[in-house]
A = this chain, B = another copy of it.
Amino acid sequence: MPEEASNTPNANFEPSVITAGIVGATGYTGLELIRLSEFHPFLKIESITSREQAGKTLKELFGWNGKYAHLILEEPNPEKIAEKVQAVFLCVPSGKAQELAYSFLKRGIKVIDFSADFRFKNLSLYEKVYGIKPSYPDLSQKAIYGLSEIFEREIKEADLVANPGCYPTSILLPLIPLLKEDLIEKNYLIADSKSGVSGAGRKSEEYYSFCEISEDFKAYKIATHRHTPEIEEKLSLLKGEEVQIVFTPHLIPINRGIFSTIYVKFRSSLLTIYEYLKEFYQNKTFIEVVPLGRIPRISEVVGTNLCKIGLFEDKKRGWGIIVSVIDNLIKGASGQALQNFNLMFNLPEDIGLPKTSFFV
């Protein structure tokens, strides 16, 4: 697990513009990627696709302004797109990415996939959880799990990156270093996570209508959410033995943000753990382990690629409490995808990615 500084460009860094395409550009993660791309000096979006809206522009559809407002949405045709781009972001549902990834990769295009299709190494687990038969087992094994800070070295060499789920990102970033270093017990992990509604994507369902969400708060998929096996597989692989986690997702009536409250058993003092984690992430520009006593809040990360982590202890009762917050659309999706893009193309990790939150 690489821990060296990563946000300084390599010596041989020669900025040149890299072209990319976005397949499935009209969902929330696709649009966020387009929005963020505007700030990226070395990324040029050359192709955006939408099966339903092909022929239209973002201007027409959403009154979009700015750099890519007039780009015309295409049919998602890999052959055609591959001629124009060096990399492609797949913002399509799980099950739809396998074939697309294969088509792009065989044409030499690097792929960053937002779906779960290549997140699992245990393919029978993937099949069981998602109900989808893996079509390219070799690709699944070659794919790198795009948790940027943890798999930085591998991502730099990767052609296919499986961008992590939003909840897993918020939970794995604090847990992986602590578990690996044996600073927390592996048998007592409970993640109580709360997410803004954009995590569900662009929806036309009664369940997600304003009147059903506003002034309410809900849990969903208790003990059955598909991010549980994703988290467990990564923890287990890195720990070298089976690790389990209880995970409960909830819906907050806000647009953006994930707040994970994670209950653990410390195997060392709070201070030791705090200092270890702080050092572990000291060169990681997007991870902030906040000072002891301070509680990170969602509004501090909305609009940024940051993950903020706070550590607490209920000493009397013998539990540690970890708070982890991210913007689900940025660090939890499109921002981390860009961060992976930067790594894959040997660019400074943080280029084009915001660190100052919207705050209001």
User: Which A residues lie at the B interface, using CB under 8 A?
Assistant: 28, 31-32, 34-35, 38-39, 62-67, 190, 192, 194, 197-198, 202-206, 208-220, 222-223, 244-246, 248, 250, 252-257, 259, 261, 263, 288, 290, 294-300, 302-304, 306, 308, 312-317, 319, 321, 323, 329, 354-360
Which residue from chain B places its CB closest to the CB of A248 in the assembled complex? Answer: B261
> Which residues from B are CB-within-8-Å of A306?
65
A222 touches B323 (CB 8 A): yes
Chain B residues with Cβ below 8 Å from A329 are 360
How many copies make up the complex? Answer: 4
Listed by A's residue number, 16 A-B pairs whose Cβ atoms lie within 8 Å are A31-B360, A35-B358, A62-B359, A64-B356, A65-B304, A65-B355, A190-B319, A214-B214, A214-B254, A215-B257, A218-B297, A219-B259, A219-B323, A246-B321, A248-B321, A250-B259
Interface of A is mostly: loop
Out of B62, B64, B217, B244, which one reaches A317, CB within 8 Å?
B244
Partner of A215 from B34, B254, B313 at Cβ < 8 Å? B254
Partner of A356 from the list B66, B296, B303, B321 (CB cut-off 8 Å) is B66
Cα of A65 to Cα of B39 in the assembled complex, Å: 17
Say whether A299 contacts B38, CB under 8 Å.
Answer: no
Give the CA-CA distance A304 to B261 in the complex, in Å.
29
Given contacts A190-B319, A254-B216, A299-B215, contact A356 B67 (CB under 8 A): yes
Q: A253-B210, A356-B64 are in contact. Are A216 and B297 (CB under 8 A)?
A: yes
In the complex, what residues of B have CB within 8 A of residue A316's CB?
A: 244
Give the complex CA separation of A220 and B63 in angstroms. Answer: 16
Taking a contact as CB atoms under 8 Å apart, the answer to whether B358 and A217 are in contact is: no
Tell me if B250 and A215 are in contact (CB < 8 A).
Answer: no
